[in-house]
Structure 1
């Protein structure tokens, strides 16, 4: 049989699959283990159906069937449909056929309803989502160089401001049941509200889940820290590394969560909303800034790493403001005031004093 068109509810109404879940039938077990091994594209759905099978115990009570049946009768005039295509002539045959058909339909409706609840209350973890994010089910929709940004409009109307040295991929089935994107680098997300389709930003370090909100995620692969700043709404932040048992955190506006390599938990703190708005508008403001502050702000704005090649002869200090200027203009101005030259190699800049 071709299982390529199977949905989760199809597995739950397949007798051999139920036997496989129950674990008492060696033939069914061997069959479904082979299907799982030979069909990588079905593995996620098989796992979900198996978990749901355990959750439900594949038992539907009479009361649940009755409730489902009433919902079914309200939605569709089943009696008319069955009479129209009824192949039996005897009254007993009609009643038997009708009774069995309705029982199956009611049971299936209960299973499907429970599946919807199951998906809502037990969504995949960040680690599961990251593990399943492969080239086969995600496609590239945006990439930037170190000194460039890109505005991206997603199919559901949500928007992304992709910062320098970053890439964004989108799930092939985006906006079907979920809204999943894969980020490497930094981006600001403005998410259209849809409680039925959670929006999840997945990175190599963290996963951020939102329903309708705006927030910034920074997670460069080569950097030890990953960070989420929440501007509006609410988000949940969790680790995408299965080996790290971090407790997930929930943020409120004005708060940020940071995950640092080697730490045992997320750290939380406030952040400057004015600073985030400056970042959005590509506005840099320095007030008697030293080398550390300058390096941090240049990294945040342009996605580059600044390192001194040698020790400065005197303390670095700079005061000034730049509105939507490129990296070269900013470095030239700061370098002129502090007597250094620089050399850029990709997304790294060496300062020479």
Structure 2
């Protein structure tokens, strides 16, 4: 299989040095995997060009008494102390959460809040099966509507889950973090605020003066932390860039891949927002190194019926740049 033939959203690549195999995790698509149900599947490749048919490594239906059975978004797999930990976002529309009064924000959107958050599952193998460590609740606080949890281990060895707090609950979406136990199976303390989507000042550049920005939400999505060789801490994240469409001033937007830099080099920030890396309805990217040492970014495009796109990247200090899109690997398009 080649990337143009592989339906995928929110791609996450693990370059497994032992097998010299790239593992591309994404939400289960029964039309490709042949396995029904919410979950996670993985494509595998030795060269980032030719990929094996995906296998399912996690299914919500196989988890007894799991609090949610829908979603399966943004799966990530991280190795820690010889075990593999899967983070993936689930939701349950039958378990509502408080909805903020829309009049407070002047937004025309109909808000519908329900339990949504990232679960943690563990396995002894990259190919699973993964078992949820706490089937009763998501890993971040259950009263928050969150998604896209990712792992960050700080210089002291403290693991954190960094996640997006949904605009559906906040209007101006935020990035937050919460400490994890050493084995990642529980949380410690309260969430820590990192930044809000509207901190990216370029988001409203194409909206004329006098048009209220709150007529469209500020969205946070897809965080991933990356430590640069010079010690700088970067966070890739995605959002929707606001544009005015039509004579009536209706505000629309396109999915974009951007990033931020922590001025202190610490998770707490302050975070300085950078210009977008890729537009074209692209996003939820992550960085990884190839076996020959190249820095790569994979993201999905377009948002609907998405496919994976690979980019060769460069870090100049803390400045992240796109060198070229690897058409030779992903088939172009």
Q: Same fold (TM over 0.5)?
A: no
TM-score normalized with structure 2 length: 0.28
Larger proportion of strand = 2
TM-score normalized with structure 1 length: 0.27
Give the number of the structure with larger relative contact order, counting CA–CA contacts within 8 Å between residues 6 or more apart: 2
Q: Return the index of the structure with the highest Cα Rg.
A: 1
Larger proportion of helix = 1
